[in-house]
Amino acid sequence: MTGIREQLRGMSCRLDAWQLARQTEAERADGRPERVGPPPTGFTLLPWLLMGLGSLANIFQGQSSNPWIGGAGLLVFNSLYVYVAFRSFDKKLRESLPTRAALAAMAVVTCGLALAYGGSWLLFFPLLGLAAGAALRGRWLGRWGWSLAVVAGAVAGVRDGWNGLNIAYGTFLSTMVTAAILSLSDAVRQLRAAREELATRAVAEERLRFSRDLHDLLGHTLSVIVVKSEAARRLAHRDLDAALTQITDIESVGRQALTEVREAVTGYREGSLGTELDRARSALGAADVEAVVRRSGPPLPPQTEALLGWVVREAVTNVVRHSGANRCEIAVSGGADRVRLTVTDNGTGVAGPTQGPGTGLTGLTERLATAGGSLTAGVEPRGGFSVTAQLPVREEERPVGAPA
């Protein structure tokens, strides 16, 4: 383990995301909507069609020449507007050729109606800008927005003189503001989806961490209890005092296991390499395995010691439970920027219930890789099984006073 405290620092963002996931679930329970921003439907743009009521009133009041042509143009424009509006909230449909063709047809109809009638019919240009802003989001928006504003100003200038500048400004403004609001709405929804995905991953990673910690904690402790129980059973008939000593050790190991499980649950356990080496000697001695421990090099950072302590715990557990060895060597050698730990036995070359690395060694490999180290395990050419862990020692993590 990279040290539980170091893990807590590294997992702070993931835990925050997990809390956000709980907050999201609470929002769902409260019935509050999950979406942020305008709903992704064309109904958002439909109320702006009321800007065309002036043109419709001109037709009914007989103020427009050729009312049938004007009514047909108004119907065609509204139909194209609704078509483009509802397709603009789906990225695939928005970028399709039929949508772009419908938008071009709207521009032609708008220019024709504006040149033919003028007056309130010029307000179709801002409506065209709304549809263009919804459909043309992206890098081409600025170019098309300016072009549409220039066309609207030119056509409106022909019919209404300098007042055409107002139509040009309104067209440009409606195009850019619509695109900005809808793009921001899409970005908010994407960020919310990403936040929920991060929260889900954080929960999964926290469960994985907790399962690994319990495996490493309880696997080793229960193995020591089993070995010492067998030793107590063997000694009970011929050496009662020695058997009571083993039973006392079992009680001590059990109490220590309870403490470690509580600390692991609360997330504050930080291992010590020296403590794990002492426990390894005791566990190997109870299993009638000769323990040879060599340690050299400068003091190590707490995080590095915690990781190496977990390697010692897992490797010694496998020696006691599966190897059938009568000798185990543990060597720790530290250098200026790297430390190496080797656990070697002279047993049958088995690391677990089956040949090869087990679940515990796989979890340790992941932990060391996260800290920039590596772990290798395999059968030795002369027999037995060997576990080798290497970790970098960062200068900022080195204990005060330790030689660099």
Least-confidence region, from 35-49, 136-150, 180-194, 221-235: 35-49
The three-state secondary structure class of 292 is: strand
What secondary structure does DSSP assign to 19-46, as a single string?
HHHHHHHHHHHHT--S--SS-SSGGGTG
In tens, the pLDDT along 36-66 reads: 444 557 777 777 778 777 777 777 777 777 7
Checking if the pLDDT of 330 tops 90, the result is yes
Cα separation, 43 vs 86, in Å, equals 7
CA torsion, ordered 3, 4, 6, 7, to nearest 10 deg = 120
Cα separation, 290 vs 327, in Å, equals 5
In tens, the pLDDT along 194-227 reads: 888 887 787 777 777 767 666 666 766 777 788 8
Contacts (Cβ under 8 Å, ≥6 apart) of 255: none
DSSP 8-state assignment for residue 11: T
Least-confidence region, from 8-12, 192-196, 321-325, 374-378: 8-12
**Which pLDDT value is given to residue 348?**
78
The model carries a pTM of 0.45
What is the length of the chain? 404
Tell me how far apart the terminal alpha carbons of the chain are, to the nearest angstrom: 24
**Which pLDDT value is given to residue 138?**
72
**Which pLDDT value is given to residue 266?**
56
Residue with tokens 């009133």: 57
| Phi–psi pair at 130, nearest 5 degrees | -60, -50
- pLDDT band (50, 70, 90) for residue 400: very low
Going by their DSSP bridges, the two strands 290-296 and 327-334 should be labelled as parallel
